[in-house]
Amino acid sequence: MFDYMYEKDVRAMQSIIIPKRLFSCRRYAKLSAMAKVLYALLLDSCEDTDINNRPFAVYSIQEICEDFCCQANEAMELLTELTSYDLICCERGRIYVNDFEESEG
């Protein structure tokens, strides 16, 4: 049996932030929950910027497979899903995370 979590335990956990609008906005109603989680992981992974000061993530298919316990085709489907909603743009091995509020149009 697991023990209760305490405040210090919660603070020590690594976490990601998933924007609530991805769940409450009609535009993203059919976007899968896994794609929404991947969007948050990509957003969290944006540590570098390009020459235009645009942040990007370097997150390989293999890393997605490891983080989601899935096969490469499933990882590609998640990326394709995010791309179809204009939430990400893949260029030269970089994944640019788009501002979903601007893409709501």
pLDDT tens across 53-88, in order? 999 999 999 999 999 999 999 999 999 999 999 999
Tokens at 61, concatenated: 């298919």
Q: Which helix (H) or strand (E) holds 41?
A: helix 33-45
In 3D, which of 91, 20, 43 has the Cα closest to residue 28? 20
State whether CATH 1.10.10.10 applies to domain 32-103. yes
- Is the Cα torsion angle 33, 39, 43, 44 positive or negative in sign? positive
Domain boundaries, the chain: 32-103
- The answer, yes or no, to whether residue 104 has pLDDT greater than 70, is no
Among candidate residues 95, 28, 36, the one with its CA nearest the CA of residue 68 = 36
Average pLDDT (11-35) is 90
Q: pTM of this prediction?
A: 0.84
